[in-house]
Structures are given as C-alpha cells and as structure tokens.
Amino acid sequence: MHVDQHNIKFIDSNAIIFSNDGGVYYTADAGATVNERNTGYNVSQFYSVALHPDAGSEYVLGGTQDNGTWTISGTGIQSGNQRVGGDGAFAHIYQVDPNYQFTATTYNTIYRSTNGGTNWSLYANHEDASGGDTGFFINPSTIDGPNKAFYSAVDASTILRLNSYTTLSDKTLMNVNLGSTASAFKVSPHTNGVLFVGTAGGRVFKITDAHTSTYSATEIGGSGMSGYVSSIDIGEDDNQILVAISNYGVSSVWETIGGGGANGWIDIEGDLPDMPIRWGLYNKNNFNQVIVATELGTWVSDDVSAASPTWNPSNDGLANVRTDMLVRRAADGAMAAGTHGRGMFYSTGFTSTAPLNAAFTPDKTSGVFPLTVQFNDRSTGSPTSWSWDFGDGSTSSDQSPSHIYTASGQYDVALTISDGTNSDTTTKNNIIWATAQQDTLWEEGFETNPYGWADGRRDVHEFLTVNANGDAEEWSWWYYTAGFGAADGSHWMAGLGMGSSGPMQMIGLLALIYG
C-alpha cells in the first residue's frame, strides 16, 4: 500500500478497509494479504499535464501529488505507467521531437527521457551554495524547443537555464531582478528567444534573447495586477498576452493587445466567480475565445474582447474539481487537462469553427469630446473587408481606424467583416461615452448635502467603480453570447440585462449633465 495513510475502517476483526494516497485497499484476513480496490475509482491529483504532438494521439504525461509522474496512452479510466517516483511536478514533451520528455520531483530535481518516455534519468539537481533546495516545492518550468533550452525558477533574482537538452552539465544562472520567485513561464511561439515570466508577486517580465548571454529583461506587467501569476499565454503576436492569477479576492484574468507595460492591460475577469485561476489558453483559431482552469473545473468565454466578458463552466465529462493545468496541441487543436483530484482529461478541443469572427477593442471607452478613439480589429479568420459604424453617423472601411467623436453622448459601435463569401457582425452597445468639458456633478438645487461634500461637487468617477483605463464598470449593458459552446460538448446560456449596483441610482442625474 501507499505509505501515506488517511483512514482505516474495521468491518470486523479480519475485514479492514484502508484509504491512502494510493486509493482504497482491502484485507479479509487481518492484513495477511491486502489488495487494492481502485477499479473505476479515479482520484489522482495531477499538478501538470503534457500532450504528445502527433495529431489524434491520446498520450499524456503528468506529475501527481505524492504518486510520481505517469504516462497514459488512451481515454477512459485505465492504468498508466509510473515513470518517476515521489511527487510529480511540471512535465513537458518537446513538440518537434517527442523522444525528449521532461518531468521533475520537488524543487529543481529534473528528469529527462530521450526515448519517448520509456526510460528516465536525472537531468539536473540544482541547489543553492549551501546545498539547499531552490525554487518552489512544485517548481514551474518550461522548455524552448527551437533553442533546446530548459528554464525553471530559482529565487527572486535568478532563473535556471539548462542550455541544451543534450549536455546535462551545461547550465546558466540568469540574473533577473524579479522581486519574487518566478511562478510562470511562456516561450514566445512567434519570436525566437523571447521568454515571458510571471512572478509570485504579480509582476510580468519579457526577456529577449533569453537563450544567449546577452539576454535582456523588461517589466511589462500592469499596476492593477496582484497575486500569484499562475500562467501566461501568447495570442496572435507577442503583443497579445493572457495572464492568469491564482488567488482569491483579486482580478484574476488579464489581457493586453499592446504588449503590456505603458500600453496597458485590461481586466477580463468579467462575471467569473471569485476563485483562483490556475491556467489560461487562447483558442488559436479565434483569439477572442479563452478557456481557463479554475478551482471549479474549466470555464470558457466566447468573447474576451467584450466590455465585460461572460464566462460559463465547460465541465461536461470533466468535473467541478480543481484543475491545475491545460495544454493545447498545435497539430489538431486537442486539449488535455490535469485535475487535482480526478485524474487527467482529454478533449478534441474548442468547437468554435466559424470561418469568420468579428471582434474589436477600443483603446478607450470614455473621455471629453472631441474624443479620439483608436479601434483595434481583432477579428479571426481571413477577412478581406471591414465596415465600421461608429454610432454617430460616421463609417469607415479601414481595418483598424481612428475616429473622433465631436459631441457628447453614448455610442454603439458595429463592425462587419467579410471574406467575399462569409461575413460576421458584432455590435457593442453604449461602448463609447463622450462627455462635455464640465465633467463634474454639481449639487445645486439640493436642499441637503447627504454626502458631506465640502465644496458641493464631486468628480463623476467617484460615483463609479473604474478600471485601470478610467472607465466606469459598475453600470453598463452586458450580454451573453448564445449557442453551442467553446469546449467539447458544452452548451451555453443566452440573456440580456443591465448592471444594477449602487451607481445605477445616478443614471438620471448623469443623463441630465451629459446629454
């Protein structure tokens, strides 16, 4: 039996049931013989999952809590093959040559296979100067296939780089002032040698030429981010970045389409429940669609470009269980999920197959007129024409136009795209709010001063919850997208409504002032 026992139940003096980290065991003869009773019982706690690169393959590699690293070669509850013992940590399969596979136990004790996962040997065991452990107990890591580099966390100012898959002793300690230990890595799929790093303190860095001695790090995180960065994904280019935060009580999903830093981040948590988000992935066929691994299974948003994204659970066939990691295969879009309590799961992937998906994001949603707004097209597919309606009688056929609003008001904006055969339209209601110059609320005409304002006025933003861009969030139109969902076998709701928190009481007054 597994050594970590959790409970023992005596049925009588001879028949005993044991529960432990290996499952359920039973003896009928007071322990003379003990047999496992785990058929159909799936409670493995996976920290990680890696997916074989071949299209259609159901081969997965994953590390478990206290039960080692396993390979499993098909769907359905079944026995796998334990490859490395102890606690199984992050796992990777080189997507160009799957003979190279990697896992770890605790901290920076890293193992490698060079024959497709059949045999494993110690790859590295990095310790500090006094011989102590480095990194986290379950330590984040990643591989850079084109440059054959392996990166893992060490401490608040150091990243371990194993320089080559083929030379075990060839390593470099990268000196980067992270502020706290690296908690997430992502190698750019677009630019050679670019490594994105998230930290346990909520910071995000971009390292260029990471595989060389001339690497350079730039902080690109946002001021609103706080908590443990659990994952990073890259979208259409290196400027589109998705960050997940694994804490309660924080905004937990962030996106930038401008590279971050001074170009800003957008909180896209929307209506997600307040729970840790442990992983996030873009749909590579529609970068407006995102799936996240959470404390309560997986959730999907069909349009994270919406002013307040709508999220829905996508757990058909999975479970409402903590899900620690997601991986998506480039060859066919298949996905695998590692859950911390119900084993590993495989999916044929996102089901969004529309040839075109119209989507856009404005660089701002409010301000004093004349208000210049840059509209960024983020449609997917291969559109050849764009038709914009800015809601004030003006239009444009540019792909990503700039428009000036010259009068106060709230404006709907619509975008229609076409490839000559197919078309798609998206409309965002009341997305732009242009205000007059006098953007303060006056208390004139009130017999009393219920808010205790010393000067009889207050800026409008003090009535509202505002985001990092200074845009009001607590009252605005919101909507669900309807139809068949994004993840395999899921269905979604449809609905329409309006936010109704405290600031809603001010709408009549705001309308008087802003027209």
Contacts of 453 by beta carbon, 8 Å cutoff, 6+ apart? 443
Residue at which a domain ends, from 385, 405, 437: 437
The structural domain count of the chain equals 2
Whole-angstrom Cα distance, residue 253 to residue 262? Answer: 18
β-pair partners for 341: none
Please answer whether residues 83 and 62 qualify as being in contact, where contact means their C-beta atoms are separated by less than 8 angstroms.
no
Whole-angstrom Cα distance, residue 492 to residue 431? Answer: 24
Closest residue by Cα to residue 94 from 65, 123, 74? 123
Residue 392 forms part of a structural domain:
yes
Residue 322 forms part of a structural domain:
no
Residue 420 forms part of a structural domain:
yes
Q: How many CB atoms lie within 10 A of CB 462?
A: 12
Residue 421 forms part of a structural domain:
yes
- The model's pLDDT over 318-358, given as tens digits with 9 standing for 90+, comes to 888 999 999 999 999 999 999 999 889 999 888 766 678 88
Please answer whether residues 245 and 251 qualify as being in contact, where contact means their C-beta atoms are separated by less than 8 angstroms.
yes
- The model's pLDDT over 362-383, given as tens digits with 9 standing for 90+, comes to 888 888 999 999 998 988 888 9
Q: Give the predicted TM-score (pTM) of the model.
A: 0.76
CATH number of 403's domain: 2.60.40.10
Residue at which a domain ends, from 437, 468, 502: 437
Residue 379 forms part of a structural domain:
yes
Closest residue by Cα to residue 280 from 395, 198, 162, 389? 198
Residue 256 forms part of a structural domain:
no
Closest residue by Cα to residue 279 from 267, 297, 304, 305? 297
Residue 32 belongs to domain spanning:
5-36
For the chain, the average pLDDT equals 83
Residues comprising the chain, all counted: 515
How large is the average pLDDT for residues 98-109? Answer: 94
Question: Vertex 233, ends 255 and 77: CA angle to 5°?
Answer: 125
Residue at which a domain ends, from 437, 458, 474: 437
Whole-angstrom Cα distance, residue 305 to residue 289? Answer: 9
Please answer whether residues 432 and 360 qualify as being in contact, where contact means their C-beta atoms are separated by less than 8 angstroms.
no
Residue 478 forms part of a structural domain:
no
- Phi and psi at 29, nearest 5°, equal -130, 45
Whole-angstrom Cα distance, residue 414 to residue 362? Answer: 12
pLDDT score for 354: 67
Please answer whether residues 417 and 385 qualify as being in contact, where contact means their C-beta atoms are separated by less than 8 angstroms.
yes
- Phi and psi at 396, nearest 5°, equal -160, 150
C-alpha of 157 from chain center: 24
Q: How confident is the model at residue 437 (pLDDT cuts 50, 70, 90)?
A: low
Residue 344 forms part of a structural domain:
no
**pLDDT of 485 strictly over 60:** no
